Chains A and B, each alone.
Chain A
Amino acid sequence: MLKIRNLRKEYMRNDRKFTALEDVNLDISSGDFVNIIGRSGSGKSTLLNITAGMLTPTLGSVELNNNDLTVKSDSELSRIRNDEIGFIPQGASALQSLTVIENVLLPYYLYPHGGDGEGYAYYLLEKFGIKNLADSYPADLSGGELRRALIARALINRPALVIADEPVSDLDVNSAREVMKIFSTLNSDEGVTLLIVSHDLDSLKYGKSVYTMSNGKLLHGNKLIE
Chain B
Amino acid sequence: MRLSTWEIAKRNFRRSPFRSFCLVLIIMLFSLLLFTGSVLSFSLANGAQSMANRLGADIMVVPAGFDPHVDNILLAGKPSTFYLPASAMDELMRIKDDAGIDLISPQSFLATLRASCCSYPVQLVGIEYSSDFIVKPWLQSTIRHDLRDGEIIVGYRVSGQPGETLKFFNKDLLVAGRLEQTGMGFDAMIFMNRATLAVLSKEAERIRERPLTNDGSLTSVIMLKLKPGFSPAASAREINRLLNDKGIYALFSRKFVNSIGESLKVVSSSIFYGLIVFWVMAVAIAALIFAMTIFERKREFGVLRTIGATRGKLIRLCLAEIFMVSSYGSLLGVVLGAVIIAVISPYMIEALKLPFLLPGIAGLAGLAVMSVVLSITTGLISGAWSAFKAGHYDIHEMTRGA
Contacts and interface: CB of A to CB of B under 8 A. Distances in A.
Interface of A: 45-46, 49, 52, 54-55, 74-75, 78-79, 81-83, 87, 89-98, 101-102, 105-107, 109-111, 118, 153, 165, 170
Most chain B beta carbons < 10 A, residue from A74, A95, A153: A95
A102 B3 contact: yes
B46 to A, nearest CB: 47
Contacts of A110: 307-309, 313
Given A97-B8, A97-B15, A98-B3, A89 B308 contact: no
Nearest to A157: B308
A97 B3 contact: no
Contacts of A81: 305-308
Interface string B37-73: 0000000000000000000000000000000000000
A92 to B, nearest CB: 6
B311 A74 contact: yes
B396 interface: yes
Given A95-B300, A109-B3, A118-B1, A52 B306 contact: yes
Given A78-B309, A98-B11, A89 B402 contact: yes
Contacts of B353: none
B144 interface: no
B3 A54 contact: no
Contact of B11 (A97, A109, A165): A97
B307 A82 contact: yes
Given A90-B400, A109-B3, A153 B307 contact: yes
Given A102-B3, A110-B307, 10 more contacts: A54-B395, A81-B306, A82-B307, A87-B306, A89-B306, A106-B304, A107-B307, A109-B3, A118-B1, A153-B307
Interface string B3-46: 11000100110110000000000000000000000000000000
Given A54-B396, A90-B399, A94-B303, A78 B310 contact: yes
Q: Report, nearest first, the 10 A-B pairs whose CB atoms are least far apart.
A: A91-B402, A82-B308, A97-B15, A97-B11, A54-B395, A109-B3, A107-B307, A89-B399, A78-B310, A87-B306
B302 interface: yes
Contacts of B8: 95, 97-98
A102 B10 CA distance: 14
A92 B399 CA distance: 10
Contacts, number: 89
A184 B306 CA distance: 23
Nearest to A98: B11
Most chain B beta carbons < 10 A, residue from A83, A94, A107: A107
A168 to B, nearest CB: 13
Given A105-B1, A109-B3, A97 B12 contact: yes
B2 interface: yes
A84 B120 CA distance: 82
Contacts of A74: 310-311
B299 interface: yes
Contacts of A75: 310, 312
Contacts of A55: 394-396
Contacts of A90: 399-402
A83 B302 CA distance: 17
Do most interface residues of chain B lie in helix, strand or loop, or is the interface mixed? helix
| Band of interface residues on B | 20 to 34
Contacts of B395: 49, 54-55
A107 B304 CA distance: 8
A87 B15 CA distance: 25
B139 to A, nearest CB: 68
Contacts of A78: 305, 308-310, 313
28 contacts: A45-B400, A49-B395, A54-B306, A54-B395, A74-B311, A78-B308, A82-B308, A87-B306, A89-B306, A90-B399, A90-B401, A90-B402, A93-B299, A95-B300, A95-B304, A97-B11, A101-B1, A102-B3, A105-B3, A107-B307, A107-B308, A109-B3, A109-B4, A110-B309, A110-B313, A118-B1, A153-B307, A170-B402
Contacts of A82: 307-308
A159 to B, nearest CB: 10
A192 to B, nearest CB: 17
Contacts of A91: 401-402
Contact of A96 (B4, B15, B312): B15
A98 B4 CA distance: 12
A147 B305 CA distance: 18
A93 B303 contact: yes
Contacts of B14: 97
A129 to B, nearest CB: 22
Contacts of B299: 93
B88 to A, nearest CB: 80
B101 to A, nearest CB: 78
Contacts of A94: 303
A55 B400 CA distance: 12
Given A54-B395, A93-B299, A106 B310 contact: no
A87 B308 CA distance: 9
Contacts of B304: 95, 106
B155 to A, nearest CB: 59
A83 B308 CA distance: 8
Given A109-B3, A110-B313, A87 B402 contact: no
A46 B3 CA distance: 31
Contacts of B305: 54, 78, 81
Contacts of A83: 308
A102 B1 contact: yes
B190 to A, nearest CB: 65
Interface in B269-327: 299-300, 302-313
Contacts of A54: 305-306, 395-396, 399
